[in-house]
Amino acid sequence: MKEKYYTSETIDSKSKEFLAEIEYLRQRHEYELRPNECALLIIDMQDYFIDEKSHAYVPSAEAIVPRIKKLQDVFLEHNRIVVQTKHINRHEDAGMMNQWWSELVTQENPLSNIDERLADNSTIPLRKPQYDAFLNTNLELTLKEYGITQVVICGLMTHLCCESSARSAFMRGFEVLFTIDGTATYREDFHRAAILNLAHGFAHPVLTGEIIKGLENR
């Protein structure tokens, strides 16, 4: 069922291919990057999804780690807000997760930790119990306290937590820039479908390099 559609060798060509497919949608809503009002949301870059020993391993995850690391570094170098979410469940707050998945990601699971390559005390940690990073968390309040009007979304998985968080951000009035080569999931068709749907109604799809260039040139 799982596919490694992104590798270090293919991620450039694949992501540009995905972008070309939805370019007609992207052109409908051009967002100008506003660094002083923009935050980076890094969704669930946990060992649970990145470690090959985990049953929830995402084969394409390894290819996006360097791009997310570069995004994070540039945001922090420019004193911009970076939020790192960590999906952690308890049975009492898991809701439908209890029914949908054979295992919950608990705090006691050593694989629940953020990948060590991305661990940074300068980021804002956020525990979330559902796909949506805004649901039952203080994320919206935190972003608004910092004057954030735009969010750049990257992380795992494209069609679950990343897509749900992007939709929720849109509903709360944030402009959403969704990274094509900074997100990954189990299969290419899941990834393509998520980007297509988001581009149609919720988010401006981007490449990580476009965001990095926009920040470095300001």
**Residue 5 covered by a domain:** no
Model pLDDT, residue 215: 92
Percent of the chain with pLDDT over 90: 88
Within a domain: 94:
yes
Specify if 79 maps to a domain.
yes
For the beta carbon of residue 116, count every other beta carbon within 10 angstroms.
7
**Cβ atoms of residues 123 and 84 within 8 Å:** yes
Q: What percent of the chain has pLDDT over 70?
A: 100
pLDDT band per the 50, 70, 90 thresholds, residue 41 = very high
Query: For the chain, what is the mean pLDDT?
Result: 96
Give the confidence band of 98 by pLDDT, cuts at 50, 70, 90: confident
**Residue 103 is assigned to a structural domain of this protein:** yes
- Answer for the pair 189, 162: CB distance below 8 angstroms, yes or no: no
101 Ramachandran zone, left/alpha/beta (phi>0; psi -120 to 50): beta
- Answer whether 207's CB lies under 8 Å from 19's CB: yes
CATH number at residue 74: 3.40.50.850
CA distances from 124 to 40, 42, 118, 174, 207 (A): 10, 10, 12, 18, 23
Q: Would you say residue 3 lies in a domain?
A: no
Structural domain range at position 138:
11-216
How do residues 59-68 score in pLDDT, each as one tens digit?
999 999 999 9
Quick: pLDDT tens for 73-93: 999 999 999 999 999 998 888
- What tokens were used for 52? 């090959």
Which pTM does this prediction carry? 0.96
Task: Give a yes or no: residue 2 inside a domain.
Answer: no
Please report whether residue 1 resides in a domain: no
Kindly state whether residue 107 falls inside one of the protein's structural domains. yes
Q: Indicate the number of domains in the chain.
A: 1
